[in-house]
Amino acid sequence: MASPPQGGPMAIAMRLRNQLQAVYKMDPLRNEEEVRVKMKELNEHIVCFLCAGYFIDATTITECLHTFCKSCIVKYLQTSKYCPMCSTKIHETQPLLNLKLDRVMQDIVYKLVPGLQESEEKRIREFYQSRGLERVSQPSNEDSASDRVGLPYTTFDHSRAHYYRFDEHVLLCLEKQSSGKEKNKHILQHKYVRCSVRAQVRHLRRVLCCRLELPLQHVQILFNNEVLPDHMTLKQLWLSRWFGKPAPLLLNYSVKEKRR
């Protein structure tokens, strides 16, 4: 059993005060002296592992907390569902769901790297101007003017937006599978469709049924004469059947005629 401290409560309080003062003096963040840190000592924390550049629209994987540029990690996850740094499985089928924009990290990068925020803002502005597009932005309801820096990840409130609006998209071409006398019936007027990669084959079937005014059980979606299961997502379909080929992804549909 430890012996009681010597000197009584007053002596103990004095010793604790002296220790706290020593710690205070050793802490550079609380010291009035200016502290200089070389950028090369911080680069490993603010540089994207995939492109070796400073984070732009910093995005963090919620499963392992590794951070990358948004465009870099989204492109990488088109062909993988594992973290490129630690190989942690991000999601079994839809890894994009476990990505989160890291505003704090992006603000840190902009404060540490001179001119980065201005050059990125200029690049985005020139991109829209060169294509004659209107830049989509929605001011936040927050009163802090410093939070509105003009970049997509801060000027648009994604939590209030449509859930699928900012998904990756896939372009489809729906052709009817010709069959004898009925080949000219039930032809789509607009055969090209763009939709979220999270959409499933069953969603396409429902769209077709609405456009063709047919019961759901009379329409099937096919790829190379193979009937596609309703639960398959368009992301899975693209990666397993059409990866590396130019858009659009060509699909067929067949119509089962009603029995008289």
pLDDT mean values, one per 10 residues, the chain (260 residues)? 53 67 58 70 89 93 92 91 92 85 90 90 88 64 40 44 64 81 74 87 88 84 90 89 88 76
Residue with tokens 């937006």: 161
Radius of gyration of the CA atoms of the chain, in A: 28
CATH of domain 169-255: 3.10.20.90
Q: How far apart are CA 8 and CA 175, in angstroms?
A: 90
Residues 6+ apart with CB under 8 A from 21: none
Q: Is the pTM of this model over 0.75?
A: no
pLDDT of residue 183: 64
H/E run at residue 59:
strand 58-61
pLDDT of residue 161: 47
Domain 40-160: CATH superfamily is Zinc/RING finger domain, C3HC4 (zinc finger) (3.30.40.10)
Following CA atoms 236, 242, 248, 254 in sequence, which dihedral angle do they give, to the nearest 10 degrees? -80
Please report, for the chain, the start and end positions of each structural domain, with discontinuous segments joined by +: 40-160, 169-255
pLDDT of residue 52: 92
3-state class of 71 per DSSP?
Answer: helix
